[in-house]
Amino acid sequence: MKKKSIISVVLAGILALGLAGCGAKKTDDKTITIGVSPVPHKEIVEQIKPILEKEGYKLEIKEFDDYELPNTAVQDGEIDANYFQHIAYLNTTNEKKNYDLTYTAEIHIEPMALYSTKVKNLNELKDGATIGIPNDPSNEARALRLLAKAGLIKVKDGELITIADVTENTKNIKFKELEAAQLPRTLDELNGAVINGNYALEAKLDATKDALFTEDKNDESIKNYRNILAVKKGNEDSEKIKALTKALTSDEVKKYITDTYKGAVVPVF
């Protein structure tokens, strides 16, 4: 055999061993990386570390402060899963960014609510009041429907409605569209704001006590706002995602959510 041929065979063998080694490493991966928002998702996920350790997994928690990056991180394979969003937001993101994400379980729902530091009940809202709402499509639509159920406005039917779909506004309410995370910080500047449950909790606002109006957690129309464990399609049947899903839907987690948040966060599994 010529010297050049021998070298080619050796290099091919090394490459094959290297690829086999990479495959083995992926198969034997016992580290799960999950992206979360600080409250309540990170607090909930912290509870499953011991459960996963018993199954031989190490859980790494990566905290995100916005709604954009966690899905990109899952799509790009930087993290295995995320737990921060509801079904409607995931669907909107997939459509808008052409992502290939799905979910393995519905974990909880956070009733969205209208808060105010200026008035104590809906009747005190004056004509021309300014109310802040989230500016992302799914949560803006949710906020407008909440205001409609509170009797403040009327809106068209449809999934992703906007302020252009308000059909009746007898109080001449003005809408301030802001990033969801900013709403609690600007509450004192507005007459009211519709705030997502996680950001309300971070701001020490309790939907069951502090709100002017809160979604009914049993309302069938808000099923799409259940918070989920999201993964990239094709990974949902991997052993570590199965273990993560099982841990997040355990009796221990259900008890923790119920006992800790007392209705501000409600388990749905």
Domain co-membership, 120 together with 48: no
Answer yes or no: is 21 within a domain.
no
Q: What is the pTM of this model?
A: 0.85
Q: How far apart are CA 268 and CA 257, in angstroms?
A: 10
Instruction: Give the per-residue pLDDT at 11.
Output: 42
Answer yes or no: is 61 within a domain.
yes
Domain co-membership, 127 together with 198: yes
Domain co-membership, 51 together with 91: yes
Instruction: Give the per-residue pLDDT at 8.
Output: 46
- Residue 89 lies in domain: 30-110+224-267
Answer yes or no: is 233 within a domain.
yes
Domain co-membership, 50 together with 94: yes
Answer yes or no: is 239 within a domain.
yes
Answer yes or no: is 22 within a domain.
no
Prior bond to 38 cis, omega within 30? no
At 65, which CATH number?
3.40.190.10
- From 172, 187, 215, the end of a domain falls on 215
Instruction: Give the per-residue pLDDT at 165.
Output: 98
Residue 45: CB atoms within 10 A of its CB come to 24
Hey, what are 206's tokens?
């309790």
Domain co-membership, 180 together with 258: no
Domain co-membership, 104 together with 230: yes
Instruction: Give the per-residue pLDDT at 243.
Output: 98
Residue written as tokens 């099982």? 246
Phi, psi of 4, deg, nearest 5: -65, -40
Answer yes or no: is 8 within a domain.
no
Domain co-membership, 130 together with 96: no
Domain co-membership, 79 together with 44: yes
Residue written as tokens 């031989």? 56
Q: How many structural domains are present in the chain?
A: 2
Domain co-membership, 93 together with 150: no
Domain co-membership, 57 together with 185: no
Answer yes or no: is 16 within a domain.
no
Domain co-membership, 206 together with 119: yes
Query: 99-113 burial, b for 16+ CB within 10 Å, e for fewer?
Result: bebbbbbbbbbbbbb
pLDDT tens across the length of the chain (269 residues):
544 444 444 444 444 444 444 433 344 489 999 999 999 999 999 999 999 999 999 999 999 998 999 999 999 999 999 999 999 999 999 999 999 999 999 999 999 999 999 999 999 999 999 999 999 999 999 999 999 999 999 999 999 999 999 999 999 999 999 999 999 999 999 999 999 999 999 999 999 999 999 999 889 989 999 999 999 999 999 999 999 999 999 999 999 999 999 999 999 99
Q: How far apart are CA 133 and CA 186, in angstroms?
A: 11
CA 228 to chain centre: 7
Domain co-membership, 210 together with 128: yes
Instruction: Give the per-residue pLDDT at 46.
Output: 98
